[in-house]
Chains A and B, each alone.
Chain A
């Protein structure tokens, strides 16, 4: 069986300008924050991000990585709004495809099943239809003739998720109460990266988790990165809860353009900065060396 262990820089080295990526977790819960930091430190730009949004969205906005966000919400849970995301929207620096949360699930599921769309009732009558150019409805071919939203598939170039435990081959388990939609992100993506608190042997993995919690199997994963505390400051129960004090500091710094650069530099949220004279116009720029650091 393949050994898929990788370092953070290697795990994000496949990113290219203009890609569509998905980030797992939910709000400020089990976000792959170490991978997000690694993405921040690449020169990649113009990403489209699909996320049940938390600080991943804010940080990528602040670093100027996003062209478009596909989302149902962005929230830090115990802090309602992410200031970076709010600023990005209010300054018009990103475009958005705003969806009902269930539509995001349907779009990921459609992509994973290689379907062009899945029907869903959510969206009918609401303005998510108004602000999603090109989205269509579909009529049931059966006697009921009901009209439903044809939620387009949301195929991803890359997916990034964080679980509690994994083996070197890409089997992975969540140990907390909720899988969120990390399996759907992986099924929807061409290249799948899982970070985890700890890489263990396959035997230890299946001993650590009930069988229902073995969310990802190795068919669904291309790279495994061991990142202890890798979801901090979001929650990764039972390994650790959300660092509420840190999140408050994050939100306060994010709300203050003067304070943010120092906070970002101190905590590894500072974006890639181009070496003088570097050519960033080429999509061939490799991020693997973490050139900005």
Chain B
């Protein structure tokens, strides 16, 4: 077990996002969530559907960059149908996240003339009011975890009122330091667990708003089987280590 790196812990924390999802579509954005979704399918949730990131559903669970026989077709038009049906768990990135889980991937500064333009809102507004959404942050930092995001792309709990809240389910934020969730009375962000070797104080110091810090546990270590799957099957080239270097 001592062989587990921080990246391994992150990959397993991303896999655990999907553990209870059942037979739904996993839509992981980015390397670590992708490894996590595939690890979940090989361990906790074999019913999970995964795609090639283009238009096909994969019958097998290939490594990063690998190919697989197909089991279905899911072009963008059908993905929007899945979003509306709610049978999907997306893990998005974020340029900013606030204490109620609002996420910004649109732009920084004033919307009319931003200081920094990013993608635009993409599918974040629709994802967050239709089905379970989690976030992956490879470098936990106070300039990303801000008191208030500049633009609300993904909807957080304070905005998920009335109709917007009907199917709203921002699940967790996994970072290189910790797993955060919103299991508090007012749905403000809480440290669910810190990764092995990380302190609660360290996470708070890298976060631009106060985190609820009751009952913080330690993120679980990967099992031997998970380490084998990560190292030999899913990511033999170690892309996860490039995203999260071992401290």
What residues on A are CB-neighbors of B163 within 8 Å? 121, 124, 146-148
Among A99-127, those with CB < 8 Å from B are 99-103, 105, 120-127
Bound together, the chains give a CA A123 to CA B122 distance in angstroms of: 11
Minimal beta-carbon separation of B71 from chain A (angstroms): 14
Contacts of A26 in B (CB 8 A): 76
Instruction: Give, as a whole number of angstroms, the nearest-CB distance from B101 to chain A.
Output: 11
Given contact pairs A126-B155, A127-B152, A178 touches B54 in the complex (Cβ within 8 A): yes
Instruction: Give every chain A residue within 8 A of B121 (Cβ-Cβ).
Output: 72-73, 98-100, 126-128
Most buried by B among A99, A101, A125: A125
A263 to B54, CA, bound (A): 30
Cβ of A81 < 8 Å from any Cβ of B? yes
- Name the B residues within 8 Å of A99 (CB-CB): 121
Q: Out of B123, B126, B153, which one reaches A127, CB within 8 Å?
A: B153
| From A90, A105, A122, A178, contact of B115 by CB (8 A) | A90
Q: Of B117, B126, B160, which contacts A85 at CB under 8 A?
A: B117
User: Given A73-B119, A92-B112 in contact, is the A177-B159 Cβ separation under 8 Å?
Assistant: no
Whether, in the assembled complex, B164 has its beta carbon less than 8 Å from a beta carbon of chain A, the answer is yes
Contact B55 A178 (CB under 8 A): yes
Q: Please give, as numbers and ranges, the residues of chain B lying within 8 Å of A148 by CB-CB distance.
A: 163
Which of B32-40, B77-85, B174-182 interfaces with chain A? B77-85
Which of A100, A123, A147: most chain B CB closer than 10 A? A100
Given the known interface contacts A73-B120, A75-B119, A89-B107, the answer about A125 and B155 at a Cβ–Cβ threshold of 8 Å is yes
Q: Which of B102-120 contact A (CB under 8 A)?
A: 106-107, 111-120
The docked-state distance in angstroms from the alpha carbon of A75 to that of B117 is: 11
A291 cross-chain contacts in B, Cβ below 8 A: none
A181 to B126, CA, bound (A): 18
Does the CB pair B120–A124 fall under 8 Å?
no
On whether the beta carbons of B77 and A179 are closer than 8 Å, the reply is yes
For chain B, the bracket of interface size reads 35 or more
Q: Closest CB-CB distance, A83 to chain B, in whole Å? A: 10
- Cβ–Cβ < 8 Å partners of A130 in chain B: 111, 152
Q: Do B106 and A121 have beta carbons less than 8 Å apart?
A: no
Q: Which of B84, B107, B113, B167 contacts A102 (CB 8 A)?
A: B84
Contact among B56, B75, B119, B155 with A179 in the assembled complex (CB-CB below 8 Å): B75
Known: A125-B152, A131-B111, A177-B55. A72 touches B76 (CB 8 A): no
Binary contact track A167-181/B, C-beta < 8 Å → 1, others 0: 000000000011111
Chain B proximity of A118: nearest CB distance (Å) = 12
Q: Is B166 an interface residue (CB 8 A)?
A: yes
B164 with A124: CB separation less than 8 A: yes
Q: Is the interface of B mostly helix, strand, loop or mixed?
A: loop
Q: CB distance A89 to B114 under 8 Å?
A: yes
A282 lies within 8 A of chain B by Cβ: no
Kindly provide the distance from the CB of A11 to the nearest chain B CB, expressed in whole angstroms.
26
B76 touching A121 by the CB < 8 A rule? no
**Which of B75, B80, B112, B114 lies in contact with A178, CB distance below 8 A?**
B75
Q: Give per-residue flags for A86-101: 1 if the beta carbon is below 8 A from chain B beta carbons, else 0.
A: 1001111001001111
In whole angstroms, how far apart are the Cα atoms of A46 and B2 in the complex?
A: 62
With both beta carbons as reference points, the residue of chain B lying nearest to A235 in the complex is identified as B54
The docked-state distance in angstroms from the alpha carbon of A120 to that of B127 is: 12
Among B123, B154, B160, max chain A CB count under 10 A is at B123
A160 within 8 A of B: no
Closest to A95 in B: B112
Q: Which residues of chain B from 37 to 83 have any CB-CB distance to chain A below 8 Å in the complex?
A: 54-56, 73, 75-77, 80, 83
- Within 8 Å of chain B (Cβ to Cβ): is A80? yes
Q: Give bound CA distance, A74 to B120, whole Å.
A: 7
**B227 CB-CB contact with A under 8 Å:** no
Name the one of A89, A90, A125, A180 contacting B161, with C-beta atoms under 8 angstroms.
Answer: A125
A270 to B160: give the CA distance in the assembly, Å. 46
Contact yes or no, B80 A102, CB < 8 A: yes
Would you call B219 an interface residue if the criterion is a C-beta within 8 Å of the partner chain's C-beta atoms? no
A92 to B113, CA, bound (A): 5
Q: Are A81 and B77 in contact (CB under 8 A)?
A: no
A217-B113 Cα distance, complex, nearest whole Å: 41
Taking CB atoms, residues of chain A closer than 8 Å to B168 are 125
Given A101-B123, A127-B106, A147-B163, are A89 and B77 also a contact pair (CB < 8 Å)? no
10 closest A-B pairs by CB: A122-B126, A125-B164, A177-B55, A126-B125, A124-B164, A92-B113, A89-B117, A125-B159, A100-B125, A178-B75
Spell out A's residues near B (CB within 8 Å): 26, 53, 71-75, 80-81, 85-86, 89-92, 95, 98-103, 105, 120-128, 130-131, 146-148, 177-181
Q: Which residues of B contact A (CB under 8 A)?
A: 54-56, 73, 75-77, 80, 83-84, 106-107, 111-126, 128-130, 151-155, 159-168
